[in-house]
Structure 1
Amino acid sequence: MSKQTVFRLKARSSPDDLVASEEAIPSIGKYEVLIKVRGVTLNYRDIAISKSKYPFTVKDNVVPGSDAAGDIVKVGDGVRELSEGDRVIGCFDITNQYGPQQDWDWGQGGPIDGVMRQYITLPASAVIKIPQGSPQSYLEWACLVCTGATAWNALYGNNPLIPGQTVLFQGTGGVSITGLIFAKAAGATTIITSSSDEKLEYVKSKFGADHVINYKKVPNWGEEARKLTAGKGVDQVFENGGSATIEQSVAAIARGGIISIIGFLALAEQSQMPDVTQLALGSGSIIRGINVGSKQLLEDCVKFVAKAGLRMPVEKEFGFSRDEIVNAYKYLESGQHIGKVCINVD
């Protein structure tokens, strides 16, 4: 087989701009591997890219998607630690080995072509082997590439989470649910917010959230979170909303706690923008931007998931056709999901 199915965004006004084509399976260089893609997961970033709302560079006619798991089918002559048949995932940024991400020029599915295709080539240095014998599916492992690395970076990339601490998660999307799974496994107390009582009850029963807050019913949910911690405040916040929610995050945070800025789902009107400088100074908190995570962080995350036997929150699967992928985008955009929306390439 010398051809593969590849999906590209011919324009970027909506997910409907996705077009399928037949293209050659790429050859590999000396230090690269060829991966047969088995599973892909979506992120809010993919929605933003498809609608020209992503605030960073996106190449024309891009192959979307950053998160994939699959099997190595060919190895370059200079590759030593990977072999044909290995189950693997690729890093979000193919250049970031360690430390903070230095730029936005190498993220898959944006400035460079991504994973929405049957075969991809990656530098061996950007590939992580999945531990042998692990029960997680390809889709579960794909969940870790962006979502898992982001959650792990938030919890362990600065002052590492300590058992007994409290973490608050905004919303029931992939990063929040994955972070909740990690935090519970590490012995933390967890609080999660949503506007849906049904979602909150589901998360409490399925994923073991210790406390839930409906932010529609309790607009001052930061104060409520503080009450749940006997007035101390939470040690970490997954800030997925942005300027419209940061004030409540600061109200919830303990002195010296970490607010991880992850998303920009809820933006305040310019006239209502909070004074973040004053908020940070008054709370003594660390407000930290999370740019996914390095290969080292992702490797640590993979080891933890394998060792603890954690199962990732695959909420809904779609097939590998143009209509199915567009429907997956639209389902993710609808906000109905609890966890991850996935594409089964097989």
Structure 2
Amino acid sequence: MRAIELQTPGGVDNLRMVERPMPEPGRQEMIVRVKATALNYRDVEIVRGSYHTAFPLPLVPLSDGVGEVVAIGAEVSRFKVGDRVCGAFWQRWVGGGFAMAEPSYQRGGPIDGLLSEFTRLDEQAAVLAPAILSDVEAATLPCAAVTAWHALFTEGSLKPGETVLCLGTGSVSLFAVQFAAAAGARVIVTSSSDEKLAMAKQVGAHDGVNYRTDIDWASGVLALTDGRGADHIIEVGGPQSFAQSLKAAARGAQINVIGYLGGSDGAINPLDIFRRQVKARGIPVGSRESFEAMNRAIAVNRLRPVIDRVLPWSQAAEAFRYLDHGSPFGKVVLDHTL
């Protein structure tokens, strides 16, 4: 079978199409014909060698994908041949708290991802793809969507009428916009682009703040909420934006720390956490249990992921470049049938 490997660190020029042996299913395993995969910024960092953890190479990238079960091993009971499944980001985090996750079993690093014609999945590390979604749409779910769901619902217990602040219009924030709006929450989005703020409103956001023209964007959030602030914050900027997230937070708010797009250096005054009694937590994607709950909500609310661009999987290098430099609005997806 064909697969695309990262053979040496340092960038997309080190991605190579190779031939690998066809995998065979072991006990409680299945073989999946990959139909589509999707990129995350984590994948970009791994390929260019800037990720905080170095993984053994060669490595097949990408944690996110969907495919059709074509063979099953002994004692498989959760799936059958012909089922359409997504692989879970954490291969051994079925449910419960993060203590149940095993870092050595993350798809796309350190174990091989789905950028190949076929992949082998443990039946405990997969979920049925929502029937209402196409392959291209379903491929986007395992990392960004589960992260947003886990933050707002599994951990956050979001309630109708609460205010959700989503920083930026990256894929995690856009999924959070859709989920929160469907749950009856008020959603505020920040962006440096008025055009993207308008696009975010089309998928469920109620208000937007341009942080380029309004540098003190936390004050803008407070103005929109009559001084109360946001109850849930999707914090993807890191230390550079955290201080303003605290300023924009309501008393007792929950700040979900997910990324560091604004950099990894900065200063935080812990007294600001104390004064507002804010709960800040890291969100490491989520469990299979969160994934399955999210998929039920997607089906009931007929939500569709925001897709920016679809490319043939053989053009993976171009997709990586576009995600890194093209400022997409929505997911970048690779179609493995092209």
Matches of 1:192 and 1:60, distance apart in 2: 38
**Deviations along 1:10-53, whole A, 9 cap, x unmatched?**
11111221111011210110210100000101000001101212
User: Is residue 323 of structure 2 the alignment partner of residue 327 of structure 1?
Assistant: no
**Deviations along 1:151-188, whole A, 9 cap, x unmatched?**
00110122310011110111111111111011111111
Matches of 1:251 and 1:144, distance apart in 2: 31
Matches of 1:74 and 1:276, distance apart in 2: 54
Matches of 2:187 and 2:268, distance apart in 1: 27
**Deviations along 1:282-311, whole A, 9 cap, x unmatched?**
221011100000010011011111121111
Matches of 2:217 and 2:191, distance apart in 1: 10
- Name the CA shift for 1:57/1:12 in 2 (closer, same or farther; >3 Å): closer
The code of the aligned residue for 1:243 comes to P
The code of the aligned residue for 2:296 comes to K
Alignment partner for residue 249 of structure 1, among 237, 245, 250?
Answer: 245
The code of the aligned residue for 1:332 comes to L
Alignment partner for residue 227 of structure 1, among 209, 218, 223?
Answer: 223
Listed as ranges, the gaps of 5+ residues in structure 2 are: none
Matches of 2:230 and 2:317, distance apart in 1: 38
The code of the aligned residue for 1:72 comes to V
Structure 2 equivalent of residue 108 of structure 1: 107
8 Å CA contact 2:92, 2:102 repeated in 1: no
Q: Which moved more, 1:54-63 or 1:156-165?
A: 54-63
Structure 2 equivalent of residue 238 of structure 1: 234
Runs of 4+ in structure 1 deviating by more than 6 angstroms, as ranges, are none
Equivalent residues in 2 for 1:195-234 (5 A)?
195-204=192-201, 206-234=202-230
Matches of 2:252 and 2:228, distance apart in 1: 11
User: Is residue 29 of structure 2 the alignment partner of residue 32 of structure 1?
Assistant: yes
User: Is residue 68 of structure 2 the alignment partner of residue 77 of structure 1?
Assistant: no
8 Å CA contact 1:178, 1:339 repeated in 2: no
What value does the CA root-mean-square deviation take over the aligned residues?
1.2
Q: CA deviation at 1:276?
A: 4.4
Aligned residue for 2:318, secondary structure, equals helix
Matches of 1:130 and 1:51, distance apart in 2: 30
User: Is residue 47 of structure 2 the alignment partner of residue 56 of structure 1?
Assistant: no
- Name the CA shift for 1:83/1:268 in 2 (closer, same or farther; >3 Å): closer
TM-score, scaled to structure 1: 0.94
8 Å CA contact 1:10, 1:19 repeated in 2: yes
Equivalent residues in 2 for 1:330-345 (5 A)?
330-345=321-336
Q: CA deviation at 1:275?
A: 2.4
Aligned residue for 2:187, secondary structure, equals strand
Q: CA deviation at 1:59?
A: 2.2
8 Å CA contact 1:94, 1:108 repeated in 2: yes
User: Is residue 253 of structure 2 the alignment partner of residue 262 of structure 1?
Assistant: no
The code of the aligned residue for 2:125 comes to A
- Name the CA shift for 1:56/1:276 in 2 (closer, same or farther; >3 Å): farther
Structure 2 equivalent of residue 290 of structure 1: 283
- Name the CA shift for 1:47/1:296 in 2 (closer, same or farther; >3 Å): same
Structure 1 equivalent of residue 148 of structure 2: 151
Matches of 2:110 and 2:313, distance apart in 1: 23
Q: CA deviation at 1:149?
A: 0.7
8 Å CA contact 1:57, 1:105 repeated in 2: no
Equivalent residues in 2 for 1:168-183 (5 A)?
168-183=165-180
Alignment partner for residue 184 of structure 1, among 181, 189, 198?
Answer: 181
**Deviations along 1:105-141, whole A, 9 cap, x unmatched?**
111011111110010001111111125xx23111211
- Name the CA shift for 1:97/1:57 in 2 (closer, same or farther; >3 Å): farther
Q: Which moved more, 1:101-110 or 1:228-237?
A: 101-110
8 Å CA contact 1:57, 1:104 repeated in 2: no
Percentage of matched positions with identical amino acids:
35
Matches of 1:100 and 1:276, distance apart in 2: 28
Aligned residue for 2:166, secondary structure, equals strand
Matches of 1:215 and 1:335, distance apart in 2: 19
Aligned residue for 2:104, secondary structure, equals coil
- Name the CA shift for 1:153/1:80 in 2 (closer, same or farther; >3 Å): same
TM-score, scaled to structure 2: 0.96
Alignment partner for residue 162 of structure 1, among 159, 163, 187?
Answer: 159
The code of the aligned residue for 2:307 comes to V
8 Å CA contact 2:22, 2:118 repeated in 1: yes
**Deviations along 1:62-108, whole A, 9 cap, x unmatched?**
10000010100001120112100001111001011112334421110
